[in-house]
Structure 1
Amino acid sequence: MAGLNVVSVSEPRTSYREPTVAIIGAGFGGLGMAMTLKRAGFDNFTVFERAADLGGVWRENTYPGAACDVPSPLYSYSFAPNRAWPRRYSQQPDILAYLRRVATEHGILDRVRFGTEVTGAEFDEDTRRWRVETAQGDTFEVDVLIPAVGQLSRPAMPDIPGAASFEGAAFHSATWNHDVDLAGKRIAVIGTGASAIQFVPQIQPTAGHLTVFQRSAPYVIPKADRAYTRWHHRLYRALPLTQLAGRLGTWTIGEFLTMALTSVQPLGKLVEGLFRLQLRRQVPDKRLRAKLVPDYPIGCKRLLFSNEWFPALAQSNVDVVTDRITEITPRGVRTAQGEHEVDVIIYGTGFKATEFLAPMRIRGLDGHELSKDWAEGAHAYLGISVPNYPNMFLIYGPNTNLGGNSIIYMMEHQARYILQVLRAGMSCVDVKPEVAATFDDEVQRRLASSVWSGCSSWYREANGRVSTNWPGLVWEYHKRTAKPDLSAYQEVV
């Protein structure tokens, strides 16, 4: 490291100066980090948010039917339970309202710089501080940088020839155009992922005709949803342990699902049985059923939850097209079998999940640039720390996504871990390259035998590397992040 020395760290220091902290993103991860700092007595932090409001994906995704596929008692902060969730699986407006409320109650809103997009950050080797650059031309210097921009924040648009020539309305589900009246329209939906299975049943009843273009069928299992009654709310307020028990039960089921995807894959056959039973019951047409059976192992792509998806596809005004799209024309969508004329195209094609922190430019020690260091796939020690980027800690970083549990649980543990490192009293720390490399080798070795390595999905890089998902149980991550191993870090002096 040019001009810098490093010192091994094994014990917390006795001297301590509270660092200044920049958090990028005001979604669940960034707000959770901010509240963790505030609750611990930290005062010198700022949250940078490019939009005019908080919420992250729950602010952006306003498509019809937008909801969470993790039950609400678990998809919330452990330190801020909500006794008044309207449903077991909450919808977008209720989740956004929850975030606004807890941020207000914890005094976080005045720490958020709304309308401030961070375009890059550079570590200054002389001052050992981060210079944070914004689209507005401002520069801020801080001791600690905590990107919390998530994995599902940048919509992915497919590269289809002729897309720009379409003369009707076209938009991605994550940027829903509410000014377009869909009633009576011929609508093309491209993609059958988590968003599409929610909005298609909502728009199907009023659409003139709906053509769903499916590249690969998803596994969709029943969603055990229900509205909470006033008796539920009274019970949760009078006996909070009852809601906590529900949270624990959901967490346990999530661990079961995770085992079915990683270490005990034969369990996946039980989940697949639920899929096949629901498909048979809800889709009487054998030819349509055949189109809706995936050709890959269950869990290899994201497992989806819905009671309405299959019934919507079985309606007379819906066609499921599995032919490959060759181009988009001014009047519709063309496949090898011919052109489908439509008035509106809706892209349900997901997000650029593996492009971590893009398009920000992050520069660390000795000319290191994150986009180049991650050219073959993102990686970070515990999904939090990257060698050669001192005092940078990630929330929802590489290999911390889950296939069967709540990401909020993971984010909370990351925030607590970061807090403990900051409390250790070291002014500037960098994870040791050999520690990070050993961790990454372990993670990739375990992921190679997981179900996620068996097909193409947003979990994987183009080179086959799984850079999004955690390879074990949430409980294991809990144990590994409960107390930082300070010997994994070196202090930059």
Structure 2
Amino acid sequence: METLVTDNPAVHHHIAIIGTGFGGVAAAIRLDRAGLNDFVLLERADEVGGVWRDNGYPGAAVDVQCQLYSYSFAPNAEWGRVYATQPEILGYLRDVTQRFGLRGRMVLNCGVERLDWDSVRQCWRLRTARGERTADHVVIATGALADPAIPSLIGLGRFAGASFHSARWDHNFDPAGKRIAVIGTGASAVQFIPAIQPEVAHLAVFQRTPAWVIPRHDRKISSTRQFLMRVLPALQRLERLRLYLVRERILLAFRRPTMLGRAERSARRYLETQVNDGSLRTKLLPDYRLGCKRVLVSDDYLATLDQPNVTLITDGIREIDEDGVIDVTGTHHPVDAIIFGTGFRTSRLPLTDQIYGRDGRSMTEVWDGNPTAYLGTTVSGFPNCYLVHGPNIGVGHTSMIYMYESQANYIAGAISYARNHSIGTVEPTPAAQSAFTAEVDRLSEGTVWTSGGCTSWYLNENGRNINIWPGSTLGYRRRTMRFDASQHVLHRTNAPVPAL
């Protein structure tokens, strides 16, 4: 693909956006609409797409209805299913970048390795795979689910068969007729396990903790409905609003776990209808509140586990040898391949260990295991730096794209204010960041995420919620609609400094 932006290492841009997933693209379009046109998108891969480019495993699809899992400013009347598959959602994102003129502002195969704040020149110095760059403002849109997590298992290095993470699916691997171990039963595994089960000889599924599973009720969208959505745009907007309100109502129960009884009973009934084996049902029934961990959405995962060529193993893994997996009971499970469905490294955002702020420390060092940010986006001591999907931006009940658009409003507001008032640096005051963190903690108290009886990636080692926004998404949108200068440290633009 041709990229029209020069990769001259001396090039300087007003804004550098790192990442071209849904978050980075949302920021770019919002900045462009605000008249902030001097920006570049830096992408480490050879194509746009972020998590939807990387996760091309069999069965990959969204778990939020596509009418809501899409940009509000770029509706699509042509969705083929209620829950879009990975090729369809990736195609949508590619189309959006083309439609909004972003292709010519991208530099592909340009992974960013390190960022250093230059206080004298009031800019960021970026070390990339294609040389050095500078930018006045940087938007870190690498996503929270970018770096796969593979557990450190004894003997994994000596396994003779194929092994890979679902987010790095080996498309040259043919599962037909093979014995496969699947380690992990999270949101990706519940999609690829049913997809490959009919063709494999045997699946050994290693589960650490059962998840609550609810039906997806996926179906094809008829050509008649597509036509109506196309000729009646208001109908599409109403459907999006309906889905938004239905999902926002779920938040009420997550905030008050005593309201979850009905949903949990429904999920138990669904388990009973899908799995005939009583002992298997026992292994699949969670002992914590629904929503404490990510709720899994699938029409076929539970039934797949009840098939004769599938074994669910809940004993831990002791080690891996050349031709199989040995569980903690000493039982050897011979397999030809190992597929990890073990999620992503979420204790820190990708790249934050390589972002060095005003005092020379990295953002990871400053956080010290407890990530915080004003509006989940900006961090004191790191001027002109904006995190898309930063701390406490995740949601457990609705579409992340709504949150990305809200963050993009704040980012565009901050940079516009700086441009209009000759401001060289923008960062939150320590008091503003602390106040927002205190509000997150207050809103998190008593919710299913902090009191639901489980250990999840939503919390840090001290049990503090560092990933989920515990309030309403509309409440977050209100906070980001207008840039509040009083919550920020603002410094005027320095006099020009001679080039080195």
TM above 0.5, yes or no, is yes
Structure 1: where are the runs of 5+ without partners? 1-17
Aligned length: 474
Structure 2: where are the runs of 5+ without partners? 1-11, 493-500
Could you tell me whether the CA contact under 8 Å between 2:48 and 2:94 is conserved in 1?
A: yes
The CA deviation at 1:274 is 2.2
Q: 1:455 maps to what in 2? A: 454
Q: Which moved more, 1:211-220 or 1:443-452?
A: 443-452
Alpha-carbon distance in 2 for matches of 1:169, 1:357: 27
1:361 to 346, 351, 354: 354
Whether 2:70 is the aligned partner of 1:76: answer yes
Alpha-carbon distance in 2 for matches of 1:130, 1:209: 52
The CA deviation at 1:296 is 1.5
Alpha-carbon distance in 2 for matches of 1:56, 1:130: 23
Alpha-carbon distance in 2 for matches of 1:448, 1:158: 31
Whether 2:279 is the aligned partner of 1:282: answer no
Alpha-carbon distance in 2 for matches of 1:336, 1:350: 22
Alpha-carbon distance in 2 for matches of 1:259, 1:492: 41
The CA deviation at 1:359 is 6.3
Alpha-carbon distance in 1 for matches of 2:37, 2:478: 28
Matched residue type, 2:23? G
Could you tell me whether the CA contact under 8 Å between 1:384 and 1:394 is conserved in 2?
A: yes
The CA deviation at 1:389 is 0.7
Alpha-carbon distance in 2 for matches of 1:41, 1:431: 23
Q: 2:24 maps to what in 1? A: 30
Deviations 1:299-325 (A, max 9, x none): 111001101011100101111010111
Could you tell me whether the CA contact under 8 Å between 2:229 and 2:236 is conserved in 1?
A: yes
2:169 to 152, 176, 184: 176
Could you tell me whether the CA contact under 8 Å between 1:168 and 1:331 is conserved in 2?
A: yes
Q: 1:308 maps to what in 2? A: 300
Matched residue type, 1:140? R
Matched residue type, 1:441? A
Q: 1:345 maps to what in 2? A: 338
Matched residue type, 2:457? W
Deviations 1:412-462 (A, max 9, x none): 011011111122123311110111012112212332422112421121223
Matched residue type, 2:67? P
1:112 to 106, 109, 130: 106
How many percent identity over aligned positions? Answer: 43
Matched residue type, 1:224? H
The CA deviation at 1:19 is 7.6
Alpha-carbon distance in 2 for matches of 1:371, 1:216: 29
Alpha-carbon distance in 2 for matches of 1:368, 1:388: 9
Q: 2:257 maps to what in 1? A: 265
Could you tell me whether the CA contact under 8 Å between 2:116 and 2:126 is conserved in 1?
A: yes
2:187 to 194, 219, 223: 194
Could you tell me whether the CA contact under 8 Å between 1:381 and 1:439 is conserved in 2?
A: yes
Alpha-carbon distance in 1 for matches of 2:217, 2:379: 39
Q: 2:53 maps to what in 1? A: 59
Superposition TM-score, scaled by structure 2 size: 0.93
The CA deviation at 1:468 is 0.8
Paired residue secondary structure (1:365): coil
The CA deviation at 1:485 is 1.8
The CA deviation at 1:101 is 0.5
Could you tell me whether the CA contact under 8 Å between 2:352 and 2:364 is conserved in 1?
A: no
Alpha-carbon distance in 1 for matches of 2:42, 2:464: 31
The CA deviation at 1:362 is 0.7
The CA deviation at 1:270 is 2.2
The CA deviation at 1:360 is 5.0
Paired residue secondary structure (1:145): strand
Superposition TM-score, scaled by structure 1 size: 0.94
Deviations 1:125-171 (A, max 9, x none): 111111111133x1111111110111101100011111111111111
**Alignment RMSD:** 1.4
Higher relative contact order (CA 8 A, sep 6+): 1
